[in-house]
Structure 1
Amino acid sequence: MDLYRLAAIAALCVYAIALASPANAAAQMRIVSLAPSVTETLFALGAGPEVVGVSQYCDYPPQVRDLPRVGSFLTPNLEAIIALRPTLVVGLELSSDVREIRALNSMGYPVLLVSDDSVQQIETSIEKVGARIDRQDDAHRLVAQIQSQIAAIQERLANAKPLRALMLVGHQPVVAVGPGTYLDELMRIARAENIADAVGQQWPHLSMEFVIAMRPEVVLDGAMGTDQSSSSSFWEKYPTIPAVRDHRVYGYAEDPMLHAGPRVGQSLEIIARKIHPEAWDRETVGADK
C-alpha cells in the first residue's frame, strides 16, 4: 500500500478515536522529537514527561534511551510517528523538504522545524520550542544561562593569542569540522584559527598533506575519544606537525561535543580548555574547577 495512503488511513483512525474521547482534548502534549538537539532542549525545558518518541540518534538525557524510536530528521518513520499520536512533531529545518514531513503537514499534524548550526540558531530554537510548548520563561532562563557561560569563557580568553587548530570527527577518511557549523563557531570563540576553514566545506575530507602544510598547533581528535593514547600510532607518523611535536593532540568525547543544543556552553569550555589550558591555570577570572 502507498505510504501516503497508509498514513492517511492511520490519521483518520486517530482522529476518530479523538472524537470519541473528549477527555483526550485536555490531555498533556505528546511530543515526538526528530533530532538529539531537539530532545535535549525539550528535557532542559522540563517537557521530558511529554516526549513520547525520539530519533534513533537521541541518547541524552539517559531517560530517552527507553523511548520509542522514529527514525531521524532526514529519514523519519511516518507510521511509527503516527502510531504515537503526537500533538507536536519537532525536527530540523534541513528536513523541510523530506516527503514524510510534508505528509505530516498535509494530514494536519503540527510540525515545528528549528535549526542548530550556530550558537544564535541554538538559542533561537530554544526560544521557539519554549514558545510552542508554553514554557517561555524556562526558555528565557536557559538561553540566559548559555549566554552567561559563553561570556565567562570569552572574558577568560580575552588576552589569549589565537592558535592554529584542527578538529577532526574521524580518520577514515579524515573528516574535519569546517565553516558553517556550530563547532567551527565554538573554535573561534575559543580563540582558535580553524585550518579547515580554508577548504570552505562544513565537513571537509582532508588529506594529511594538507594538514601537514597548514601546521596546526592544536589538534582535537574525536577518533581518540577520551583515551589519549588510542590514536598515538596515527599521529606519531607526522612529527613535523607542531601539535604532534608539542604533544598537543587531544581526544574528546562525542557527548556532548557533537550534540548541538542546550549544552553548547559545556562544549565550548571543553574546546577552550584544550586550546588554551593556560587560561585555567591562572586565577584571573572566576574559580577553577
Structure 2
Amino acid sequence: MTWINTISVNEPLASILAVLVALLLERFIPISSGVNPLSMYRFICQRMANKVLKTNYSKQQALISGSLGLIVLVTPTVLISFLIYEFASYQWLLDVFVLWILLQFTTQTKIFSATIKAAASNKTLLAKSLLQSVMLRDTQLLSEIGIFKACIEGLFLRYAYQYVTVIFCYFLGGPILALSYRLCYEANHAWSPKLKGFSNFGKLASYVCSLFQFIPSALLSISFMLTTSPFLALKALVSSQYWTLYLRSVQLLLLFSVAQVMQVKTAGPVMYSQQKVRRQRLEGTKAKHGNFEAKEPSAKTYNTLMNLIFRHIIICTSVMLVLVSLSFSVLANTPELGPSKSRTAHEQRIITLSPHLTELVYSLNKGQAIVGVSDYSDYPKAALSLPRVASYQGANLAQIARLKPSHVLVWRGGNKDADIQKLIAMGFNVYQSSIKHPSDLVSEISNIGKFLDATERANQLANQLSAKITQIKQAYSQRSLTTLYYLNQYPLMGLGNDPWLNSLLQLCGLHNIYEDSLSAYPQLQVSDILRKQPALLIAADGSNQAQINTFWGKHASVFEGKYISANPDALHRFTIRALNEMERVCEEAYK
C-alpha cells in the first residue's frame, strides 16, 4: 500500500483523487436504496418523528423536540465516525468509501428517467407513482407538463444537494463535515417543514441544511450557467433578480439557473400534504426581456438537462484532473522526501516524534538541526518554539513531508505503528527508539549518535551515564526499602509493572510493592496500601512536600513510612535527567 502513503503526503492531491474515485464508484457501482446506510438512517428519522412528535404539541415544544432529535441522531454517528478515522491505518481509502456512500445520486436519476419515459408513453399513473418515491411534493394531481417540470427540478436540486454540496463540504472540512451535512440533509428530507405537522419540528434541520448549501449552491449556479451559456450567465449575474433570489432561497436560485440555461419555466406553486405552497414562477432573462415566451418543460428538456449536468461533471472533473497532474508534476520535480546520502552534518533536518527523543538530540548538541517535534516537547526551553508535527492522535505526515527532514526519530511503543510504517514507506531515514531499562538508554544514546553523525559526543555521554548507573548501584548495594510509587492522588494511581520506572527504583534497592500488578499503572486503595505498610512513599504527581504531608498525615496513627516527592517530568522520560533525578530520590529515601 506504498502508493497510498505517497498520496497522503499531499493532502489536496489525496482529496481530489478520493473524490474522483468515489464519483466513478457511484456512477458504475451505485448502492441500492435497500442496502444504503442512508436509507436506514432516514427510516430511523421517520420512526423517531412518529414516536416523539405529538399532535398536541405547541410550536415551541415541536421545535425543541425536533432540535433535540437532530442532535441525538447526528452527534453519535459523527463521534463514532471520528473515532474510526483516528484509528484507521489508511484514511484515504476510508475517505473514498464514505464518499461513495454519501454521493448517492445515480439511483435517483434512474428513477427520474423512468418517470420521464413513462410520462412520454402516456403511462401517467406509473409516472406519478415512480415520482412520488423520490419527491416530497404530491404527485397525484400533476399534469404531464407538471411531471416533466417536477423531474427537471428534482434532478437539478438533487445534483446540487447530494453531489455538489457533499463534495464542497468534503474539500472544506473533510469526510466528517461531509457526513454531518448528509445526515442533516436526510433528517431534513424526513422532517421537511413543507410536510403537514413538521413546520416546527423540522425547522432546525432545514436551517442547518440551508447554511451548508448556501455557498455551494451559488458556486453551482454560476459554474453551470458559465459552462453552458456564458453570455446568458453574465446577463443573469448582473441582474438584481439573481441576487435577490439568492438571498431569499438557494432552491429558487438553482431553479432560476435551470430556467436561464434551458429557457423554460420553472418553480411556481407546489402541493405538499394536500396544501398549496406558493413559489415565484421563474423564467430566463432572455425570455423575460425578449420577444418570445419561455417554453414549458418536456421530455426533451429533461434529456438536455441530463446531458448538461453530465457535461458539467466532466468539466469539473477535468479541472480536478489538471490539478492532480500539476500536483504530480510538482512532486516529480521536488527533491526526494527522504534523506540524501550526500547530506553533511550542517544540512541535517531532524524531526523527533517523542519528547524524550527531542531531549536526547539536544543532549547530543544537535538541537539547532531540529525542524519539528511532537507535542509536550518542552525541554530544553528552546524546543517550545519548534513546529509541532505529532500529537496523541498521530503524526502529521503531510507537515513532516513539507519540512523535508533528513532524519526522523520515532518511539516504537509511543508512536502509532501505522505512522512509523508510512514514514518508512515514504522514503524517510527513520530511527526507531525502544527503551525499557536504564542500560538501554546507554546503548540508545550511542546508536542515536551514529544515526546523527555525533558519535564522539554520544560516546562521551554514554560513558558518563554508564558510570553513573554503576555508581548508584554500588552506593546502595546493601540497602533495600519496600516502596509505593504513585502518579496521581485523585484517583490514586500507582506504579505497577512498568519496566522503566521499576528498573530505576531498583538501582538503589527501592522495591515497588505493586511490581507484580497486571497493569502498568493500577488504581490503588489506601486501605490496601496501609495493609502492605511500605517503608517509603514516593509522590510523583507534582505535589510539594506540604501537600504530601497533608494527604498522608491523616493516616499517621497507622502508617509509619516515610514519604518524599519526585519530579515525574524527569523520571518518566528516557533521558539523562531521569538518572540525575533518581540519584536525588535515592539520597532522600535513605536520609
Establish whether TM, by shorter chain, passes 0.5.
yes
Instruction: Return 186-195 or 4-13, whichever deviates more.
Output: 4-13
Q: How does 1:138-217 map to 2 (within 5 A)?
A: 138-160=457-479, 162-217=480-535
Q: How does 1:15-164 map to 2 (within 5 A)?
A: 16-18=333-335, 28-72=347-391, 75-95=394-414, 98-160=417-479, 162-164=480-482
Which structure has the greater CA radius of gyration? 2
SS of equivalent to 2:460: helix
What amino acid sits opposite 1:56 in the alignment? D
Q: CA RMSD in A?
A: 2.6
Distance 2:350 2:468 in 1: 29
Distance 1:202 1:16 in 2: 49
Q: What is the match of residue 232 of structure 1? A: 549
Give unmatched runs, 5+ long, in structure 1.
Answer: 278-289
SS of equivalent to 2:419: helix
Q: How does 1:222-261 map to 2 (within 5 A)?
A: 222-225=540-543, 227-239=544-556, 240-243=558-561, 248-261=562-575
Give unmatched runs, 5+ long, in structure 2.
Answer: 15-326
Q: TM-score, normalised by structure 1?
A: 0.83
Distance 1:104 1:96 in 2: 11
Kindly state the Cα deviation for residue 59 of structure 1 after the two structures are TM-superposed: 1.1
Change (3 A) 1:188 1:217: same
What amino acid sits opposite 2:536 in the alignment? V
Q: TM-score, normalised by structure 2?
A: 0.42
| C-alpha distance after superposition, 1:26-67 (max 9, x if no partner) | 561111001121111111111111111111011111111111
Distance 2:571 2:489 in 1: 17
What amino acid sits opposite 1:90 in the alignment? L
Q: What is the match of residue 7 of structure 1? A: 9
Q: Which has the higher contact order (CA 8 A, sep 6+)?
A: 1
| C-alpha distance after superposition, 1:126-184 (max 9, x if no partner) | 12211111112221111110111122222222332x11111111122222223342221
Kept in 1, the 8 Å contact 2:571–2:579? The answer is no
Kept in 2, the 8 Å contact 1:37–1:262? The answer is no
Change (3 A) 1:197 1:95: closer
Instruction: List structure 1 runs of 4+ shifted beyond 6 angstroms.
Output: none
Kindly state the Cα deviation for residue 192 of structure 1 after the two structures are TM-superposed: 1.2
Return the structure number with greater helix share: 2
Change (3 A) 1:266 1:25: closer
Distance 2:393 2:456 in 1: 31
| Number of aligned residues | 267
Distance 2:549 2:506 in 1: 26
Kept in 2, the 8 Å contact 1:96–1:102? The answer is no
